[in-house]
Structure 1
Amino acid sequence: MGEIHWTEIVFGAATFVVLTIYHIHWVYQVRRTPLQTYRGVTKHLQRVWVESVITEKRDMLSVQTLRNWIMASSFLASTAMIIGLGLLSFLFKPDHISEIPFDPSLIFSRMKTLFMAKLMVLMVHFFFAFFSFTLSIRYMNQINFMINVPIDCDPMLSPELIANTLDTGMVHYTMGMRAFYLSVVATLWLFGPVWMFLGSLVMVVVLYKLDHSCALEYSTARCDIKTR
């Protein structure tokens, strides 16, 4: 691969540190003060929504809402796979496809430039997004059955269990979207490590705006669900 310039190492490490510190801080806030983050607010509202659907028997509402999530996840999963396969086809040119080895060390030995390694990192982002969105679809399909089963038929199928399953699906959806966001930083790496580092700083600001809901106050919020 030749000699790697010092800027690749310095700015690459700086980018990794910046993004890692932000996400550690975000996870800490989600656990300690969840209602100050959109992740925590969404989780809270999901539980309220599940209880409302089960109590008031809003079957059509639940099916339509989950269908919209499944359609969005399907579109994003297809997009991620198309981009990932496109990068894979560019990474291994047609005249070398028949010679692709199964040993990863041999694959890396055929990468003549750092540019190929950058493309591979970008490809991993989109494949990760694909698996995250498909897992989200899996859990959403399970919710379609679980949420319409009367509690009397199976006492173990509680609103708490359904809400936790829904939250698991939303976690995978969030991870898929996060992979899309971070792929922007990986794309900027193709133009140079300085661009990647500057992009990571801008991305942290954007993610902070998207992840935090400081203007929302749920500390005194109440939701009384009544049966018809």
Structure 2
Amino acid sequence: MVSTSSLLIKLLVIQSLLVLCIARDFDFFYFVQQWPGSYCDTKQSCCYPKTGKPAADFGIHGLWPNYKDGSYPSNCDPNSPYDQSKISDLISRMQQSWPTLACPSGTGSSFWSHEWEKHGTCSESILNQHGYFKSTLDLKNKIDLLQILQDAGIHPDGRFYSLNSIKNALKGGIGHTPGIECNVDASGKTQLYQIYICVDTSGSNIIECPVLPNGKCTSNVEFPSF
């Protein structure tokens, strides 16, 4: 009887710790969009999704819960796997705005599954699976990064632009300072890769970033075509 009671108590403690882990507050989201030309123009290259070549536009990478100290939670609920049937009404929007570029060529489901299970489950107390993906798509509709840059004379034409001009254009268009991440093309040149925009914990309102990522950018960066 004692051993049974002891085991029950241990199980209850473990369950409580798991619930606390899942429910632990986060401070904000990073809404991250990537430029497909920079994803593809690397030594690793890319594969277009089975639906065909994506539009020459920034695509969604993810909506990532973060803490103000720069750390982030991940894989918060193994009991909440990705279930595409819950977002069937969003698939066409996701194929357009959230395309996979990983190899081998895919439908997007592996990419979306990874984003939900690593990041989405950590905001589950606020956004269920459908809410998580819909909120991310709605943010994409609010923010046309490519148009903002082109309005400032910054085009995906393979030319180099100053990092400050890119930051200033985006800040003017978004109303808040973005995080900018660069990667390296196949010939070793630094190029504009990802834009980080901070969003409050509701997943709907753009805010000033409490902390910005280390973007690994040089003072002038290439904006490759796609």
Larger Rg: 1
| TM-score, with length taken from structure 2 | 0.27
| TM-score, with length taken from structure 1 | 0.27
Greater share of helix: 1
